[in-house]
Amino acid sequence: MSRRLPETNPSARPNRYRFSKYKKPLVLLTMAAPTAIWLLLLRYLPMGGIVLAFKDYKVNPRNPSFISNLINSKWVGLNNFKFLFMTDDAKIMFRNTLAYNIVFIILGIVIPVAFAIMLNEVTKKFVAKAYQTMMFFPYFLSWVVVSYFLNAFIDGQYGMITAMQRAAGGDVTNWYTTMGPWPYIIVFANLWKNVGYTTVLYLSAITGIDSTQYEAAAIDGASKWQQIWYVTIPNLRTMICILFIMNVGKIFNADFGLFYSVPMNSGALYPVTQVIDTYVYRAFMVTGDIAKSSAAGLLQNVLGFICILTANGIVKKIDADSSMF
Amino acid sequence: MAVKGKKKNLRLNSVSPGAEAVIYVILGLFALCCIIPFVFVIIISFSAESSIRSIGYSFIPQAWSTDAFRYAFRKLPQIWRSYFNSIFITVVGTALSTFMCALYAYVLYRPDFKFRGFFNFFSFFTMIFGGGLVPTYIVCKQVLGLNENYAALIVPLLVNPFNIIIMRTFFKSSVPLELIEAATIDGSGEYNTLFRVVAPIAKPGVATIALLNALVFWNDWYLSLLYIQRNKVLQPLQALLMELQNNVEYLSRMSGQMGAAAINEAAKMPTQSLRMVLVVLIVVPIACAYPFFQRYIVAGLSVGSVKG
């Protein structure tokens, strides 16, 4: 019925036309609205709070509203950053964040690629599947759970290793106050949790490689190593590049849970476990030092932003298809 | 003869039996290493407290017992409450976040949408730059009222731009545009097209996103650390576990006793195995569902990582 309406009443047609022309983007806008509003409130609005890093934020007890406090507090220029760098904290957290991330990036590429290539060579599919399932499992656990897994082995009183040391009559290591082993524990924990996931990613890329490429290489007399080097690796290049950029872009970001929860927030270990994320949290929530905390946070975001743009730019130059944006 | 030749060729192109054995051992050791801690924690949760006190945590305890489980469920009502909190947060959070993500990604996927470029950038930019913890915390707490309530444990995790990219890629690869055009010509409204025409096709993609979201909500403890300071009954299991790390007495306070009574209660409590009971309670649902959802997650991750 309604479809025949325009024909019987031609003047209604342009009106209806114009309406539907505006209606479509409007309806689609309502679909985008929930997420867009969320982004606006929880991501863009806080970006305004960046000015905190340049202010001496004081809470006025008579008017505790954040906005008025922010407006009324004094501009101090770069003083917050100056104070931050006068302490050892800054040096320690930047050193730790960068050093750990560099190790994570390198091992996080080499080991999963090697594992994926090895898994692909396992001829019994059942075994390969079982290995893959087991290796992927830790990825789904939270760092708190991982910290208890670790604690079962190194708990100061009942841990398995501690108990074995005690039974052997040797010195008992108090793991949560001894800094020495922690860089290794942190690196191992991170690999333990994430290697399976990355391996699965690379494996799915490897299984996607056209098998005729290998056949051709084999007929030409390429050894297994040569096939890996000249067929597998070049095929993985795009994915390696993408994961590499994403990780370099996040080089100033540390996994909060890994550095906070796995060492059980032990103060004695701060020199080897303090990273920017944990510092920002502790300075803000524990010591209430808004100035230094927001200065460190802003520094982290700006440096990360520069890093991700640079990494992407470099990849774009080398191989335009592999770049993220 | 031809068949045999082909078989020989295949054999030629696989690694030697010796090398394969090495591969089996290396990968096998790592794979075992990935699940042994979980097995260990299960064993500890069933160990008698007396055994733990005398020989520590061990793969072979002197005595087995289910005391810790019984104690947890009878004497510590907060564990039930926290279990409920975890499930509630996961269900509501997953439903909301998946719905929002699918809607937004669908709009980004529509090439005829005018503001597509803008909205694309709008979500992407938040992946590479942000305000940082302090401003975000203050905005959430003071402006949005995300403070000591369930909303504080759900809302801050609702949107993940990376999931939007994955979802959009799913739409692109599985839903042909002609289908939407056809539906529109037939007079179907935008929402009708999305729910009746597009959604059934994009179901695997939606399932993947839902699973990723469910894991995030189930595993979260950070939000509780930030926004739940006083109203601790709202803590999900993960946050409870976090609290126990440096504060074992927290368990006895949970049983409602104070002062001397709490100390008394603490002495009777199988504290060590109790902690591991909590870990088991958290991990078992994941471990049970894991073999089923693994496939979806792998599909989603490989789609998402290929290109944004």
pLDDT digits (tens, 9 = 90+) for B290-300: 888 887 777 76
DSSP-derived secondary structure letter, B60: S
Domain tally, chain B: 2
Q: Which of A75, A100, A123 delimits the end of a domain?
A: A75
Query: Cβ–Cβ of A31/B23 closer than 8 Å?
Result: no
Mean pLDDT of A183-202: 94
Distance from CA of B228 to the nearest CA of A (A): 12
CB atoms within 10 A of CB B303: 22
Q: Are A251 and A303 contained in the same domain?
A: yes
Query: What is the predicted pLDDT for the residue at A76?
Result: 84
- Name the pairing type of β-strands A55-56 and A74-75: antiparallel
Best mutation target among B22, B34, B275 (most A Cβ atoms within 10 Å) is B34
Q: Are B51 and B115 contained in the same domain?
A: no
Q: What is the CATH number of the domain that holds A259?
A: 1.10.3720.10
Judge whether B5 lies within some domain: no
Distance from CA of B34 to the nearest CA of A (A): 6
**How far is Cα A111 from Cα A197, in angstroms, rounded to an integer?**
12
pLDDT surpassing 50 at residue B3 = no
Q: Which of A75, A98, A114 delimits the end of a domain?
A: A75
Q: Are B159 and B245 contained in the same domain?
A: yes
Query: Cβ–Cβ of B287/A137 closer than 8 Å?
Result: yes
- Restricting to A residues 117-146, those with a Cβ less than 8 Å away from any Cβ of B are 118-119, 121-123, 127, 130-131, 133-138, 140-142, 144-145
Inter-chain CB pairs, A–B, below 8 Å: 271
What Å distances lie between residue A247 and A224, A276, B40, CA to CA? 30, 16, 32
Question: B15-42: per-residue pLDDT in tens?
Answer: 788 888 999 999 999 999 999 999 999 9
Q: Are B34 and B164 contained in the same domain?
A: no
CA A192 to chain centre: 16
**How far is Cα A149 from Cα A155, in angstroms, rounded to an integer?**
10
Q: Are A152 and A47 contained in the same domain?
A: no
Q: Are A199 and A258 contained in the same domain?
A: yes
Q: Are A83 and A51 contained in the same domain?
A: no
Query: Cβ–Cβ of A39/B122 closer than 8 Å?
Result: yes
Bigger pLDDT: A102 vs A3: A102
Q: Are B34 and B126 contained in the same domain?
A: no
Q: Are B234 and B91 contained in the same domain?
A: yes
Q: Are A255 and A281 contained in the same domain?
A: yes
Nearest to B298 among A65, A200, A297 (CB): A200
Judge whether B2 lies within some domain: no
> Contact, B197 vs B183, CB < 8 A?
yes
Bigger pLDDT: B174 vs B86: B86
Q: Are B63 and B78 contained in the same domain?
A: no
DSSP structure string for A51-75: GGGGEE----TT---HHHHHHHSEE
Judge whether B174 lies within some domain: yes
pLDDT surpassing 80 at residue A184 = yes
**How far is Cα A36 from Cα B205, in angstroms, rounded to an integer?**
21
Query: Cβ–Cβ of B221/A144 closer than 8 Å?
Result: yes
Q: Are B179 and B100 contained in the same domain?
A: yes
Judge whether B118 lies within some domain: yes
Q: pTM here?
A: 0.88
Bigger pLDDT: B84 vs B267: B84
Q: Are A91 and A14 contained in the same domain?
A: no
pLDDT > 70: percent of chain B: 86
Q: Are B152 and B227 contained in the same domain?
A: yes
Q: Are A205 and A299 contained in the same domain?
A: yes
Confirm or reject contact between A297 and chain B (CB < 8 A). yes
pLDDT surpassing 60 at residue B46 = yes
Distance from CA of A81 to the nearest CA of B (A): 15
Question: A29-53: per-residue pLDDT in tens?
Answer: 999 999 999 999 999 999 988 888 8
Q: Are A121 and A199 contained in the same domain?
A: yes
Q: Are B111 and B53 contained in the same domain?
A: no
Query: What is the predicted pLDDT for the residue at B153?
Result: 95
Q: Are A96 and A220 contained in the same domain?
A: yes
Q: Are A42 and A159 contained in the same domain?
A: no
Confirm or reject contact between A269 and chain B (CB < 8 A). no
- Restricting to A residues 154-173, those with a Cβ less than 8 Å away from any Cβ of B are 155, 157-160, 162-163, 166-167
Find the domain containing A300 and state its range: 79-322
**How far is Cα B30 from Cα B39, in angstroms, rounded to an integer?**
15
* A213, two tokens: 């490429």
Query: Cβ–Cβ of B34/A47 closer than 8 Å?
Result: no
Q: Are B128 and B30 contained in the same domain?
A: no
* B48, two tokens: 């008698």
Q: Are A136 and A49 contained in the same domain?
A: no
Q: What is the CATH number of the domain that holds B147?
A: 1.10.3720.10
Q: Which of B67, B96, B128 delimits the end of a domain?
A: B67
ipTM surpasses 0.85:
yes
Query: Cβ–Cβ of B57/A159 closer than 8 Å?
Result: yes
Q: Which of A75, A92, A121 delimits the end of a domain?
A: A75
Distance from CA of A195 to the nearest CA of B (A): 10
Confirm or reject contact between A224 and chain B (CB < 8 A). yes
pLDDT > 90: percent of chain B: 42
Nearest to A163 among B55, B156, B275 (CB): B55
Torsion of CA A161, B26, A114, A185, to 10 degrees: 0
Judge whether B218 lies within some domain: yes
Query: Cβ–Cβ of A39/B131 closer than 8 Å?
Result: no
Domain tally, chain A: 2
Residues of A with Cβ-Cβ distance to B13 under 8 angstroms: 214-215, 218, 227
Torsion sign (Cα): B61, B64, B65, B69: positive
Judge whether B147 lies within some domain: yes
Nearest to A291 by CA among A283, A302, A300: A283
Query: Cβ–Cβ of B41/A148 closer than 8 Å?
Result: yes
Q: Are A25 and A147 contained in the same domain?
A: no
Find the domain containing B55 and state its range: 14-67
Question: A52-84: per-residue pLDDT in tens?
Answer: 888 887 777 776 677 777 777 888 888 888 888
- Restricting to A residues 179-198, those with a Cβ less than 8 Å away from any Cβ of B are 192, 195-197
Nearest to A152 by CA among B205, B112, B155, B52: B52
Q: Are B97 and B112 contained in the same domain?
A: yes
Nearest to B106 among A31, A215, A261 (CB): A31
> Contact, B248 vs B234, CB < 8 A?
no
Nearest to A160 among B58, B104, B190 (CB): B58
- Restricting to A residues 239-268, those with a Cβ less than 8 Å away from any Cβ of B are 239, 242-243, 249, 256-257, 261, 264-265
Nearest to A42 among B106, B132, B136 (CB): B136
Question: A146-159: per-residue pLDDT in tens?
Answer: 999 999 999 888 88
Confirm or reject contact between A29 and chain B (CB < 8 A). yes
Judge whether B1 lies within some domain: no
Q: Are B31 and B109 contained in the same domain?
A: no
Q: Which of B67, B93, B128 delimits the end of a domain?
A: B67
Task: Provide φ and ψ at B47, rounded to 5°.
Answer: -85, 150
Mean pLDDT of chain A: 85
Best mutation target among B54, B60, B134 (most A Cβ atoms within 10 Å) is B134
Judge whether B9 lies within some domain: no
Distance from CA of B70 to the nearest CA of A (A): 21
Query: What is the predicted pLDDT for the residue at A20?
Result: 54
